[in-house]
Structure 1
Amino acid sequence: MNDCIEKSIELKAPVSRVWRALTDYREFGEWFRVKLDAPFEPGKVARGQITYPGYEHVVWRATIKAIEPEHLFSFTWHPYAVDASVDYEAETPTLVEFRLEPSTTGTLLRITETGFDKIPCGRRAEAFRMNEGGWTAQLENIRNHVA
């Protein structure tokens, strides 16, 4: 199994617009489908309620790692942590990075998620599979959001 998910998409929007969609917690919540409690801040935990149908019982949690304006936004989280009876905090989280580059049509957005090799064997393959598909869907969500 691969340890890394890599996705990219060309967005027909300027870097500044895509950056705002990624780092403004309200805009991020709109396309990512999570109602966040507060703005993103490096070193702090971001929390919110997932609004995606079927996952409304899940609290979204991520530790913001980097906010480098119009270039890099990153956080760590516990992938596919959807079972309320499981304490995921003992697990090593994965790292999600959003990288932006200007392109001839607007912005190239690259998303990588690494660290799946640290997820416990019993849930590693499912977490990878669900996030692989999830990032594909999220690319379409952000494309529609910034259009």
Structure 2
Amino acid sequence: MSKASSQRGSVSVAGVLMHLLPAVLLFALFAAVGILHVTSRVMVVDMGYRLSRAEAESRSLTRENDRLKLELATLKAPGRLERVAREQLGMAMPAGSAVVSLSADKPARGSASAAAPAPSQDKPGVRVAGRGGAGR
């Protein structure tokens, strides 16, 4: 074997690297694109889970709000308020003589006569009951 055949069989490392470099770069590019794609899909799925949790929390808070509105309406019911006043506070309906009735001509709010109502004979339709207590 001559010198020509030995050069033909020997290949330099630099030559091999130059032929493999485009393939390696292409593989690295595909790997980077794949990693970016998988990362973006994972982020989309994570955001979907977050959205689902937020919607479930919104539905839960809406149900709680509706329940609280119903409870408020129940607590403000006139029948319940009357029962609580009678049973827990010991209140009773006033006697007919203890009720103050006003005529249809009600004084405007904020006026001086409305601030200090005094029983008088010249105002028709106004009746003030007397206090029946030992403190007088």
Question: Which has more radius of gyration?
Answer: 2
TM-score, structure 1 as length reference: 0.15
The one of the two structures with greater contact order (alpha-carbon pairs below 8 A, sep at least 6) is: 1
Q: More strand per residue: 1 or 2?
A: 1
